[in-house]
Amino acid sequence: MKKRSQWPKLVLLFVAMALVAAACGGDDDAGAGGDTTTTAAAAPAATTTATTEAAPATTMAPEPTTTTAVEMQPCVASIGFIGPITGPVAFIGEVQLNWMQYAVDVFNEELSIDISIVEGDNQFDTAQSATLAAQFVDNADMVAAVGPAGSDNVDAAGAVFEDLDSDFSFVSPSSTRVGIAATYTGMFRTVPTDAEQGPTTADYMIAQGASKVFLIDDQSSYSTGLADSTTAALEAGGVEVVTESVSQDVTDFSALVSTIPDDADFVYLPWQVAANGQIFANQMAEQGKTIRIFGSDGMDSEDFTAAGSLVATFAPDIAGVAGSADLLAGFLAEYESTNTFGPPVFVAAQVIIEATYRVCMTGATPDRASVQAEIRNTDLADSILGSPVSFTSDGDLAGGQFFISEIQEDGTKKIAG
């Protein structure tokens, strides 16, 4: 195990102790266990990890939904993770899994509970996502899961969850397709939807004086849906939109690049594979095309570093969020780097863990139905994202918003003015 930095937790501990005292008559049962690893019988492999390391304090503490005096039982549960730990967008899955592990470390210590993770690598593949969903439903100890990341994979897993057990909750930290959360009883998400991303993107281009935009979708449902909402907003603002389409499997864009109109103000790429976006930018440069690229949230990656380009982000850089510095420092003390795909996972895990904890505070054993009910009751006044967290009746994040960032010469990003 890696050594974790220690941070003051007195304020949160006093709050947590007060909550336990109110609900449990002063009992404070810890449920920490040893590290264990198991492998599921079906592919892809799922790994269960219980964690007991010390972690920095959060600034948010869960509140029980009842003050009835009950005897506190050890709070033990398993939660799953479905994400692309390997595959074409592993940069997303690796960071998301790290933040998932970090969240469990933090809340296991702060709440004296025993939450373990079952890791599921879907390799950004819909068939793998469906397989993992079936495995998770079969795991009687699992109360909910974080993920999947992309909307196509959410559809694949969501259909299985809905069919086999609609009480199974899954909180996506990066699926943005409009309407998808309403499709599945147990789906929630900690990021805004493309109903916000499309208009935010279009508004920025219009404010910059754009009159023509060259838009290329990557033929995924995520991309085509976002392309439609952005096109509608641009055209409503009087901007001409020229559209093309290319498969995610294509990496030679030279012919497509040659068709970019010379009078276009932006090339808009609502793509999921950021590395393809970098190849596209390189091939634009080879042909002397200097039109500014604007990428969707899927392009917000270290794999896309074209200086001067813009990307939409569904979460802010938490380094600038008041109250999140200690958590970020603690994370970076253990893991090498992060990106905007990480912190929404922390919040997704927090939502599930605190819902589970509130069930435990009533003296009940957490199950899928009770945890889902408490997830619906989530009402965080603040979060590491710098904004409140609650859900609409459809499971969408209430009041979500997107941000626009500009890529600097050194590869870092700054909020665009």
26-56 pLDDT tens trace:
333 333 333 333 333 344 456 555 443 444 5
82, 116, 348 from 162: Cα distances, Å: 16, 23, 19
- Whether 93 and 104 map to the same domain: the answer is yes
Place of tokens 């380009």: 309
CB 294 within 8 Å of CB 201: yes
- Whether 327 and 296 map to the same domain: the answer is no
- Whether 282 and 183 map to the same domain: the answer is no
In a domain, 2, yes or no: no
Pick left, alpha or beta for residue 46 (phi over 0 → left; psi -120 to 50 → alpha; otherwise beta): beta
Higher pLDDT, 406 or 17: 406
- Whether 259 and 186 map to the same domain: the answer is no
Minimum mean pLDDT among 187-191, 220-224, 318-322: which range? 318-322
Q: Is the pLDDT of residue 313 over 70?
A: yes
> For 18-55, b where at least 16 C-beta lie within 10 A, e where not — what string?
ebbebbbeeeeeebeeeeeeeebeeebebbbbbbebbb
Kindly report, residue by residue over 274-312, the tens digit of the pLDDT: 999 999 999 999 999 999 999 999 999 889 999 999 999
Kindly report, residue by residue over 3-27, the tens digit of the pLDDT: 333 333 422 432 343 333 333 333 3
Displacement of CA 37 from its chain's centroid (Å): 24
Q: Is the pLDDT of residue 126 over 70?
A: yes
Higher pLDDT, 401 or 19: 401
Minimum mean pLDDT among 145-149, 250-254, 290-294, 402-406: which range? 402-406
Domain that holds residue 163: 10-192+318-386
How large a percentage of the chain has pLDDT more than 70? 82
Q: Is the pLDDT of residue 59 over 60?
A: no
pLDDT score for 69:
45
In a domain, 81, yes or no: yes
- Going by pLDDT thresholds of 50, 70 and 90, the confidence category of residue 94 is very high
pLDDT score for 147:
98
Minimum mean pLDDT among 10-14, 388-392, 404-408: which range? 10-14
In a domain, 4, yes or no: no
Q: Is the pLDDT of residue 84 over 80?
A: yes
d(CA 255, CA 245): 12
- Whether 298 and 381 map to the same domain: the answer is no
CB 206 within 8 Å of CB 231: no
Kindly report, residue by residue over 195-230, the tens digit of the pLDDT: 999 999 999 999 999 999 999 999 998 999 999 999
d(CA 28, CA 12): 15
> How many other C-beta atoms are found inside a 10 Å radius of the C-beta of residue 260?
17
Q: Is the pLDDT of residue 358 over 70?
A: yes
- At residue 257, what are phi and psi to the nearest 5 degrees? -60, -35
- Whether 248 and 345 map to the same domain: the answer is no
Strands 379-380 and 292-295: unpaired
Q: What is the CATH number of the domain that holds 350?
A: 3.40.50.2300
Mean pLDDT in residue range 229-248:
97
Q: Is the pLDDT of residue 190 over 80?
A: yes
pLDDT score for 417:
62
Q: Which amino acid would we find at residue 392?
A: T
d(CA 350, CA 356): 10
- Going by pLDDT thresholds of 50, 70 and 90, the confidence category of residue 65 is very low
- Whether 172 and 228 map to the same domain: the answer is no
pLDDT score for 415:
81
- Whether 198 and 188 map to the same domain: the answer is no
Q: Is the pLDDT of residue 409 over 80?
A: yes
Structure tokens at 355: 């819902």
Q: What percentage of the chain's residues is helix, strand, coil (to nearest 5)?
A: 40, 15, 45
In a domain, 95, yes or no: yes
> Cβ neighbours of residue 55 under 8 Å, at least 6 residues apart?
4, 7, 102, 105, 106, 108, 109, 110, 330
d(CA 167, CA 161): 8
Candidates 139, 134, 16, 135; CA nearest to 77 is 139
In a domain, 394, yes or no: no
In a domain, 34, yes or no: yes
pTM of the model: 0.75
Roughly how many angstroms between the first and final C-alpha of the chain, as a whole number? 42
Describe the crossing of helices 151-164 and 126-138 by its angle, rounded to 10 degrees. Answer: 30
Angle of CA points 62, 172, 180, to nearest 5°: 120
pLDDT score for 248:
94
In a domain, 396, yes or no: no
Q: Which amino acid would we find at residue 298?
A: G
- Whether 223 and 180 map to the same domain: the answer is no
Total count of domains within the chain: 2
Mean pLDDT in residue range 362-378:
98
In a domain, 391, yes or no: no
Structure tokens at 88: 């074409």
CB 25 within 8 Å of CB 39: no
- Whether 174 and 230 map to the same domain: the answer is no
- Whether 177 and 128 map to the same domain: the answer is yes
- Whether 262 and 298 map to the same domain: the answer is yes
> For 329-345, b where at least 16 C-beta lie within 10 A, e where not — what string?
ebbeebbeebbbbbbbb
Angle of CA points 85, 386, 311, to nearest 5°: 55
